[in-house]
Amino acid sequence: VTARLRSLGEDRWIARLARRLGTSAPPPPDGIGDDAARLRPRAGRDLAWTTDVLVEDVHFRRRWAPPRLLGRKGLAVNLSDLAAVGAVPRAFLLTLAAPPETPVAWLDELAAGLAEAARRAGVACAGGDTTASPGPIQIGIAAAGDLPRGRMLTRRGCRPGDGLWLSGPLGGAAAGLRLLEAGRPGRSGAAAAAVRALLDPRPPLALGPWLARRRLARAAIDLSDGLATDLARLCAASGVGAVLEAQAIPVHAAVRRLAPALGVEPRELALAGGEDYELLFAVPPRREAELRYLPRRLHIRPVRIGEVTTEGLRVRDEDGRERPLRPRGFRHFGERW
């Protein structure tokens, strides 16, 4: 007999969650177990906070998303937002809504995944809210982090002439989604890598704080809805334009191999595909050389993909021809603001 949330009851659900999430968490007032949790930044530091939700059948399907990976991803996408403003993640609140017939084992795996991602990032669960729901499973996270006072990165600082840099390759998650939605993920290494990019993203969390600490980036955004869409947001917030060098945009290795079977153009998927959670940031030209001081142990190799201009969004091809970059992206997903 499969144990269901209905038979567990909410008090035992909370206790179960707290046991799985709370092993490394501080006791109240900072941790789980009160009406609200304390959030005390160290002296001289600002706090940053954000929220992001994963909804079943919008952001994931239970038939292809293992709950442990969902737990990791639910936290990862929030920590990515914190990193994008330069903050080091510290704590999170969890809002979990699930139908009464949800298997307890599924929820346990979800909690295990959250706990794994929390341990890896050094963040603690500070509380949350659980509720039965007649609808899809929803995994909501609010996360907070801190950074040196006054150093928060926003989307608004780009200036014409700044170099546009990207933390890693794009299109992998979009390729993985196409494979899973088509019901034929296959067993090739490329397919597995693409599916992993979608289900188990590892945002470059150390990069944003490093850039903020050195005041090296003028603005940044994490790529959740695709390069074209998120670049347009960055430029709109800054009141500028941009030109991308098509051949400089790094395409996920799996995408190149899967493209023929998927019937897509690799670079198009890299421009339009969402959920890569790489960091896009602008660096003043006279400081771009400093990016080489990024510690090797972080395993992040940003590449220059274009330049901030006064207006318009364009892509320059190998042969020097420019064409307009139209916003496109994965609109089946929700959006952050």
Give the containing element (helix H, strand E) for 124.
strand 124-132
Comparison of 13 and 216: residue with beta carbon closer to a second copy:
13
Paired with 2 in beta bridges are none
Residue 112 interacts with a second copy (CB under 8 A): yes or no: no
Nearest approach, Cβ of residue 122 and a second copy (Å): 17
Kindly report the backbone phi and psi dihedral angles of residue 112, in degrees, each rounded to the nearest multiple of 5, phi listed first: -65, -40
Closer by beta carbon to a second copy, 69 or else 87 = 87
Q: Which is nearer to a second copy, 220 or 249 (CB)?
A: 220
- Is residue 97 near a second copy by the rule CB under 8 A? yes
Interaction between residue 8 and a second copy (CB under 8 A)? no
Tokens 């990165």 sit on residue: 153
Of 79 and 264, which has the nearer Cβ to a second copy?
Answer: 79
Partners of 52 in the β-ladder: 141
By CB under 8 A, residue 323 contacts a second copy: no
Report the residue from 74, 140, 204, 284 that binds a second copy according to the rule CB under 8 A: 140
264 binds a second copy per the rule CB under 8 A: no
Q: CA 221, CA 337: separation in Å to the nearest integer?
A: 11
Give Cα 61 to chain centroid, integer Å: 18
Binding-site size, a second copy (CB under 8 A):
72
Establish whether the linkage from the previous residue to 29 is cis, with ω within 30° of 0: yes
Q: DSSP code of 291?
A: G
95 membership: H or E segment, kind and range: strand 88-98
318 binds a second copy (CB under 8 A): no
Query: What is the closest distance, in whole angstroms, from the C-beta atom of residue 219 to a second copy in the complex?
Result: 10
Task: State in angstroms the smallest separation of the CB of 322 from a second copy.
Answer: 25
Residues 148-167 that bind a second copy (CB under 8 A): 149, 152, 154-156
**132 touching a second copy, by CB under 8 A:** yes
Cβ neighbours of residue 43 closer than 8 Å, sequence gap 6 or more: none
**Interacting residue with a second copy among 6, 213, 326, 331 (CB under 8 A):** 331
What's the half-sphere exposure (Cβ side, CA atoms, 13 Å) at 66?
A: 10
Site for a second copy in 44-83 (CB under 8 A): 46-53, 55-59, 80-82
CB of 151: closest distance to a second copy in angstroms? 10
As a whole number of angstroms, the distance between CA 266 and CA 297 comes to 29
Q: Give residue 199's identity as a one-letter amino acid code.
A: L
180 binds a second copy (CB under 8 A): no
Q: Which positions from 285 to 314 touch a second copy by CB under 8 A, shown as an x/- string?
A: ------------------------------
What are the angstrom distances between the C-alpha of 125 and each of 57, 130, 190, 242, 264?
26, 14, 35, 39, 41
Among 1, 11, 263, 293, binds a second copy (CB under 8 A): 11
